[in-house]
Amino acid sequence: MGTEKLRGIVIGERIKGESNKQLVVLAKGLGRVLLSARGAKNAKSKLLAATQLFCYADFVVYTGKGFTSVTQAELLHSFYGPRTDMEKLAEAVYLAELVERTCPEGMEQNAVLELLYYAFLVMEKGTLPPKLISRIFELKLLQLSGLFAPEACAVCERAEGPLYFDGRPGAFFCPDHRTKESRLVSEAVRQAFAFVLEREGRQVFGFQLSPEALEQLGVILREYMDVHMGLRLKSRDFFA
């Protein structure tokens, strides 16, 4: 029990009663944590500004027996931009839900926190299409989770030459081992894989893709996540 300070992004909020909130925060050094914010829904509450979805803030919390309550909150970045555009909002909600569903409680996730921060920042600035930001995030999240195998043949590990993807096993194959259901991965998508996997932080959001390449990247990652994460969120295809 006691008071401590934590910094993180609000990835979930639920109303409790008339004026209270339950927050899900991805916190530095702590991972996903559940916080109670009494009175945070009130218009005059000092907690109101920093306890909104997507907010990046410093929280002073008190941990008692079976609960952790927010006593103070200082807003660092509201990421208000995505709220003004429906497509951006849909993708930001999806990323928050994806993080909430995939990051274990109480386990440090600093790399994911940094990735989410930069995803929201790039989305707010509008330098990349929102869907591309989400696809980059998915790919990097898979890598950080140790779930994305190198884009090489699952049978012989050959990486040179054409590469094919079969969504049923969620695997890549060379021409010699390709399945009947596999599809050729475009060169633009292969370059996107390499770009994201080889970079860290904000640098992963440093490229553009054609609509056709983005569509294929999206299909591959959806099928890959279905197999390797066992997860498909309805919020992903809100604007499909």
Per domain, the residue ranges of the chain are 2-77, 86-237
Query: Is residue 61 a contact partner of residue 35, using CB atoms and an 8 Å limit?
Result: yes
Query: Is residue 55 a contact partner of residue 61, using CB atoms and an 8 Å limit?
Result: no
H/E stretch holding 67 reads: strand 67-77
Task: Write the DSSP string, 212-237.
Answer: HHHHHHHHHHHHHHHHHT----GGGG
144: Cβ contacts below 8 Å, ≥ 6 apart: 111, 112, 115
Q: What is the CATH number of domain 86-237?
A: 1.20.1440.120
Q: Which residue has the tokens 């475009």?
A: 186
CATH topology of domain 2-77: OB fold (Dihydrolipoamide Acetyltransferase, E2P) (2.40.50)
Q: Which residue has the tokens 């779930």?
A: 147
Sequence length of the chain is: 240
Determine the Cα–Cα distance for residues 192 and 90; give it in Å rounded to an integer: 23
Strands 183-184 and 164-166: antiparallel
Query: Is residue 172 a contact partner of residue 153, using CB atoms and an 8 Å limit?
Result: yes
Count the Cβ atoms, other than its own, within 10 Å of residue 76: 14
Residue 98, classed as helix, strand or coil, is helix
Q: What is the residue-level pLDDT of the chain in tens, covering all 240 positions?
A: 678 999 999 999 998 878 889 999 999 999 999 999 998 888 889 999 999 999 999 999 998 877 899 999 999 999 988 888 999 999 999 999 999 999 998 899 999 999 999 999 999 999 999 999 999 999 999 999 999 988 899 999 999 999 999 999 999 999 999 999 999 999 999 999 999 999 999 999 999 999 999 999 999 999 999 999 998 887 787 655
pTM of the model as a whole: 0.94
Percent of the chain that is helix, strand, coil (3-state, to 5): 40, 25, 35
Query: Is residue 54 a contact partner of residue 78, using CB atoms and an 8 Å limit?
Result: yes
Phi, psi for 59 (deg, rounded to 5): -120, 135
Per-residue DSSP letter, 185: P
Give the sign of the dihedral formed by CA 229, CA 232, CA 235, CA 238: positive
Query: Is residue 12 a contact partner of residue 100, using CB atoms and an 8 Å limit?
Result: yes
